[in-house]
Amino acid sequence: MDIVYYLVQNMLPVAIPLLLVALGGMYSERSGVINIGLEGIMLFGAYFGALFVYNVQGSSMGPQTILLLGMVIAGLAGFIYSLLLSFAAVSMKANQVISGTALNMLIPAAVLLFSKMFFNSDGITTNKNFYIREMPILGDIPIIGQLFFQRTYLTVIIGFVFLAIATVVLYKTRFGLRLRACGEHPHAADSVGINVYKMRYAGVSISGVLAGIGGFFYSVGVMDGNVNGHTGVAGFGFLALAVMIFGQWKPIRIMFAAMFFAFLRTLAYSVSLIPFLFNLGINQTYYKMLPYLATMLVLALTSKKSRAPKAEGIPYDKSQR
Amino acid sequence: MKDKKGASSKTKFDIKKITQLQGYSSFTSALMAIVLGLIFGFLVMLFANPGSALAGFRFVVLGGLSRIGDVFYFATPILMTGLAVGFAFKMGLFNIGASGQYTMGLFFALFVAFTWELPPGIHWMAAILAGMLGGMIWGFIPGFFKAFLNVNEVITSIMFNYIGMYLVDMWVQTNAEMYVSSTTRTRYVPMNAQIPSLGIAGSNVNFGIVIGIIVAVILYIVLQKTTFGYELKATGFNKFASEYAGMKGKKNIILAMVISGGLAGLGGAFLILAPSGIAGSSMTYEPINIIAANGFNGIAVSLLGNSHPLGIIFSAVFISHIQRGGTLASLVGYKPEIIDVVIAVIIYFSAFAMIMKSSVTTFIKSKLGKEKDKEKNNLAKEAE
């Protein structure tokens, strides 16, 4: 049972960044823009979040307050950075995949450049501990308390709040309906007076905010508050895209997909703690490849009947109506 | 009235005559992206350290000229990854997996170089071919997933970048013949397996660049003069129309990805089999779980060269040139990463350079046209 507790407690902080970033990708694609730059946006948000933490870690603010403020900063940074993609992909009608790739390439280099210049290292190292040993009241609930509210981070709760908000906004509001229309049939949406460009800007911006926050949560929950330009966010932005496809562009399914991938990754990194797997004597590298291999397997099985938004990837051109 | 019409259409024709040439148009848009990228790089330098920004920028732009041999030496791998990305792009496939294919090619070349016993003249050729084979296998996978399972090649390629990187790093680390654990690097490649140097004094430029250019020319011929090349381009233009015309889309997708992967694999082989400065030494590989950057630089090379094999030769040399300049800029205190920033900005702008340029030219044209019309009107009035 201890191993189960251990795995769940370690899985959740990994699953939350995946969940948030995949939700971001969902918003972007539902509006019709493929956002392959999620990886770069994550790192951008993570870097600014960590920069903030680095600057205030000496002050008397409590760690959870710093976490919340850092989240706001990271979201803002992600939003600003995602405007570059919106501008290229929506306003300039550029190839969305190429502009996203450019965003991905820019940030690791920029992070390395500035960290080397101002910190003499490959990234930012913070010493603030956001770890929560046991949450008051909630942590005392038997089993559930142990699974979800002990040895965890505040990010887990915030992540689920965001999931709820994202689901409601997408399905229960006028904005969500319009956004989905722009991803399925932008010309029809335009004909009833919806501004497709605005909607796509909104979709990409939401994905920017969520990816920025997701990046910061990655650095908090997975990297212990550190960010560096070499490993970046270790392909989490791309994994999130796969999670989104596996989740068929639907919020709740995306959550389960994120949990699945996070579980595999946690398993891969805790092989030495699980006697049964450790005794098999398989090279650890194979376990590290597991999330990526599982992605391919899942995609191979699900892509035939994929429910991708119909107009994703196609720049909207008013004159083609 | 009639006269005026003729005159204005004539001026239009003159502008069109130059601007409508496809090569000219892609050249100017590439140039525009480069200029914007360099301006951005200069701004970053100015922000980081205003005092030496000018000196640093001069190194970036002109520094490579003093190391022309090195420029070609480092251009070889990115020429190959650029060709790989460009070739797939002709078919409408975005091969972001050049990194994985490149790493796989690198390992296959290393494997043959270290573990096979072959006569001197043949060994390096065999190693190069092995590298190509490695890349082809890694290119086949995204092609297969795309053709038969309808999985987007971008996602597959990215996943197999990671899988390939982990696999190769593990294989290298567990192979005592090629790996020295104390230096965490591979050994120098045996002399027989090193690509012969071109023998230019003071540089390590080797036969690889020659093979690379020959391959580029062959690709150009394949794309322009063969049925396969025609089908490839047709599928890139319109998948459904080409299918309707009886072209085998699935076979072509896989074939294009296999060739593309083979090109990237060659790049890896050229990199690792290259001799370096001191006699007997060569390039080495360090397995530290990082995705090879040369694969992504290939995207920049390909975009700048407009996916045209011959254009890619020039853009590879150019990118390598500013990379050399970037390392020289460290003499005045800048980090070489500045060039990666510049390259990313160049990619960003080249994604919509064509559109930006056409809007700029229509703007200029309309201005010019109006002024011409005004002049004509004035002349006509005076004549009356």
3-class secondary structure per residue, B95-137: CCCHHHHHHHHHHHHHHHHHHCCCCHHHHHHHHHHHHHHHHHH
Task: Give the pLDDT of residue B2.
Answer: 43
pLDDT band at A94 (very low <50, low <70, confident <90, very high): confident
**Is B360 near chain A, with CB under 8 Å?**
no
Mean pLDDT score across all residues of chain B: 83
pLDDT computed for residue B20 by the predictor: 58
Which of A99, A108, A113 is the closest to B351 by Cβ?
A99
Handedness of CA A21, A88, A176, A198 (dihedral sign): positive
What contacts A26, CB < 8 A, 6 or more positions away? Answer: A166, A170, A207, A244, A247, A249, A250, A251, A254
Window from A297-301, B146-150, B252-256, B274-278 with minimum mean pLDDT = B274-278
Q: How far is CA A230 from CA A121, A123, A282, A284, in A?
A: 11, 8, 27, 21
Indicate the residue of B155, B340, B347 with minimum beta-carbon distance to A98: B347
Sign of torsion over alpha carbons A127, A130, A131, A133: positive
| Res B1 pLDDT > 50 | no
Q: Does B96 contact A at CB distance below 8 Å? A: yes
**Tokens, residue A284:** 């650890």
Per-residue pLDDT at B12 exceeds 60: no
Helix (H) or strand (E) run with residue A7 in it: helix A2-30
Closest by alpha carbon to A241, among A180, A288, A306, A179? Answer: A306
Q: Is B156 on the interface with A (CB under 8 A)?
A: yes
Residue B239 CA, chain-centre distance (Å), reads 25
Mean pLDDT lowest among A104-113, A222-231, A233-242, B42-51 = A222-231
Residues of chain B contacting A314 with CB distance shorter than 8 Å: none
Asked if B340 has any chain A CB less than 8 Å from its own CB, the reply is yes
Question: Over 90: is that where the pLDDT of A45 sits?
Answer: yes
pLDDT given at position B220:
93
CB contact under 8 A, B352 and A112: no
Task: Give residue B374's pLDDT band: very low, low, confident or very high (50, 70, 90).
Answer: low
- Quote ipTM for the complex: 0.86
DSSP letter, residue A314: S
Query: Is it the case that residue B3 has pLDDT exceeding 50?
Result: no
Best mutation site among A38, A43, A238, A297 for testing chain B: the one with the most B CBs within 10 Å?
A: A238
A195 touches chain B (CB under 8 A): no
* Separation of alpha carbons A36 and B341, rounded Å: 18
| Whether A288 contacts chain B with CB within 8 A | yes
Which of B19-33, B301-315, B345-359 reaches the highest mean pLDDT? B301-315
Indicate left, alpha or beta for B289 from its phi (over 0: left) and psi (-120 to 50: alpha): left
pLDDT for residue A310 is more than 90: no
**Pick from B154, B156, B300: CB nearest A97:** B154
| CB contact (8 A) between residue A285 and residue B155 | no
Q: Beta-carbon neighbour count of residue A7 at 10 Å?
A: 18
Is the separation of the CB atoms in B48 and B332 below 8 Å?
A: no
**For chain B, domain boundaries:** 67-333
Which DSSP state fits A312? T
Residue B292 has pLDDT above 80, yes or no: yes
For chain A, say whether B47 makes contact (Cβ under 8 Å).
no
Residue B19 or residue A250, greater confidence: A250
User: What is the pLDDT at residue A115?
Assistant: 86
The encoded tokens of residue B212 equal 């690379």
- Please give the domain boundaries of chain A with CATH numbers for all domains: 2-320 (1.10.3470)
CATH code, B67-333: 1.10.3470
- Give pLDDT, residue A255: 94
CA nearest to B338 within chain A: A113
Q: Is B126's pLDDT higher than 50?
A: yes
Tens-digit pLDDT profile for residues B80-111: 999 999 999 888 888 989 999 999 999 999 99
Q: What is the 8-class DSSP label of residue B50?
A: G
User: Nearest C-alpha of chain A: how many angstroms from B169?
Assistant: 9
Distance (Å, rounded) from C-alpha A244 to C-alpha B152?
Answer: 13
Phi first, then psi: give them for residue B178, nearest 5 degrees.
-110, -10
Q: Do B170 and A106 touch (CB under 8 A)?
A: no
pLDDT exceeds cutoff 90 at A27: yes
pLDDT digits (tens, 9 = 90+) for B132-143: 999 999 999 999
Residues of A in contact with B332 (CB under 8 A): none
Residue of B nearest to A241 (CA): B155
Lowest mean pLDDT among A189-193, B67-71, B253-257, B375-379: B375-379
How many inter-chain contacts (A to B, CB under 8 Å) are there?
Answer: 127
pLDDT computed for residue B219 by the predictor = 93
Q: Is the pLDDT of residue B6 over 70?
A: no
**B156-190 pLDDT, tens digit each:** 898 899 999 999 999 998 888 888 888 888 888 88
pLDDT of A2 above 60: yes
Q: Can you give the pLDDT at residue A80?
A: 95
Judged against a pLDDT cut of 90, whether residue A161 lies above it is answered with yes
- How far is CA A133 from each of CA A129, A150, A153, A156, A308, rounded to the nearest angstrom? 11, 6, 9, 13, 41
Least trusted range by pLDDT, from A87-91, A155-159, A201-205, B58-62: B58-62
State chain A's mean pLDDT as an integer. Answer: 87
Is residue A282 less than 8 Å (CB to CB) from chain B? no
